[in-house]
Amino acid sequence: MHVSPLSWIALTCAVVAAVIMIYYLIYRPPLNGRVKLLMMVAVGVLPIMTAMIGNLEGLQATEHQAFCGSCHTMDMHIADANDPDSLSLAAIHSRTIKFGDKSCYVCHKDYGMFGYAMTKLGGMGHVYMFLSEYAWYDMEEALPKIHIARPFKNDNCMQCHSTTGRLWNDVADHNGLLEDLRTGTTSCASAGCHGYAHPFSKPDEETPSDAEAHSALPAPSPEGT
Amino acid sequence: MNPRAKIERFLDNASRSRLMVYACVLGLIGLALMTWSLFDQGWIPVMMAMSVGQGIGTLSFALFLVIVIIDLRQADFRPSITPMPPKPDDD
């Protein structure tokens, strides 16, 4: 558990507010001007500060794997992403510093002007689906039923892999499918290309073998992609 | 009785100290929910803090504002500057 300095400020505000409120509840001083001023701080100012910092910290928390993995139906996705021996796209990307602990969010978030808000709206949809259906399934029941709400956009891959680098374009399949990849007609994360990001969640016939996945994945290169 | 009359009657009769007790109790519950998410950042604490916790906290503050409104309704406002006495040559 990591508690940031901001969280400590929020906690301090909450504790001070709680102490004042408990004092009032125990001693019930008459509500004169001074007590009302004190209570305005305890009921208004300090809780608002706690809430604002809580919002900030809460929204940041939603970007971490621990948040995504707090639904039991995501256990296998998180385990695979953090498996040092896994060759899935999710695991390969999670091992890089740009993704790391935020790999779920970096790959699945919506980019663009309203990306953050749209991502949060999508997250609310996930909460609804979890509460209305998946919460009651164990992992074996849930796994075949879990599917991505919308097809994964190549735009998300292209945030890093610009499709303009020389090394990237030297790959014959990339060059031949350039327009399809840029328009999203052909998915980067499909069985015939780089394989699914979470292959364990797909039926066997749709999942490329390790050898196929290896051959489709060029050696990681920090530049020219 | 129309809603406005009901509200006015409530504001005339409500006990300020009791409202403050409710505000404190709700405030403590709201604070507990909001601080829970600072330590446990799973989806339940985070969502509870940002929805139920803040809702209860807002209700608590709203009760405090009701107390302020009650005080303002009962306040005896007097002008801060006393009127000047009439000059002798005014009449």
Please write the tens of the pLDDT for every residue from A144-171.
888 888 888 999 999 999 999 999 999 9
- A43 & A107 share domain: no
Q: Which residue has the tokens 């290169």?
A: A221
Give mean pLDDT, residues A20-33: 95
- A23 & A124 share domain: no
- A99 & A182 share domain: yes
Nearest CA in chain A to B53: A51
Are B20 and A31 a contacting pair at CB < 8 A? yes
A18 touches chain B (CB under 8 A): yes
- A133 & A169 share domain: yes
Interface test with A, best of B24, B37, B52 (most A CBs within 10 A): B24
Residue A223 resides in a domain = no
- Examine the fold and report which residue of A14, A34, A61 is the final residue of a domain before the chain moves on: A61
Residue A95 resides in a domain = yes
Residue A135 resides in a domain = yes
Residue A28 resides in a domain = yes
- Examine the fold and report which residue of A18, A46, A61 is the final residue of a domain before the chain moves on: A61
pLDDT of B39 over the 80 cut: yes
Among partner residues A1, A39, A70, which is closest to B39 by beta-carbon distance?
A1
- Asked if A57 and A94 touch (Cβ cutoff 8 Å), the reply is no
Residue A51 resides in a domain = yes
Are B24 and A22 a contacting pair at CB < 8 A? yes
Chain A nearest C-alpha distance from B16 (Å) = 8
- A118 & A209 share domain: yes
Structural domain containing residue A27: 5-61
A17 touches chain B (CB under 8 A): yes
- Asked if A192 and A185 touch (Cβ cutoff 8 Å), the reply is no
pLDDT of amino acid B90: 54
- How does DSSP classify residue B83? P
- A43 & A126 share domain: no
Q: Which residue has the tokens 């500057």?
A: B81
In the structure, what pLDDT confidence band is assigned to residue A205 with cuts at 50, 70 and 90? low
Interface test with A, best of B16, B21, B35 (most A CBs within 10 A): B35
pLDDT of A184 over the 60 cut: yes
Are A67 and B16 a contacting pair at CB < 8 A? no
Per the document, the length of chain B is 91
- How does DSSP classify residue B90? G
- A149 & A168 share domain: yes
- A73 & A31 share domain: no
- A11 & A46 share domain: yes
Most confident of A48-52, A96-100, A132-136, A189-193: A48-52
Count of the separate structural domains present in chain A: 2
| Chain B environment of A52 (Cβ under 8 Å) | none
- Examine the fold and report which residue of A42, A61, A80 is the final residue of a domain before the chain moves on: A61
Residue A136 resides in a domain = yes
- A50 & A98 share domain: no
- A72 & A56 share domain: no
Question: What's the whole-model pTM score?
Answer: 0.78
- pLDDT by residue (tens digit) across A42-99? 999 999 999 999 999 999 999 999 999 999 989 999 999 999 999 999 999 999 998 9
Residue A221 resides in a domain = no
CA A56 to chain centre: 16
pLDDT of amino acid A113: 84
Q: Which two tokens stand for residue A39?
A: 């209570």
- A23 & A78 share domain: no
A127 touches chain B (CB under 8 A): yes
User: CA-CA distances (angstroms) from residue A209 to A59, A75, A192, A193, A216?
Assistant: 38, 23, 11, 12, 11
Residue A102 resides in a domain = yes
Q: Give me the helix-helix angle, A33-40 and B16-39, nearest 10°.
A: 30
Give mean pLDDT, residues B71-87: 78
pLDDT of amino acid B13: 87
pLDDT of A199 over the 50 cut: yes
Q: What is the mean pLDDT of chain B?
A: 89
In the structure, what pLDDT confidence band is assigned to residue A204 with cuts at 50, 70 and 90? low
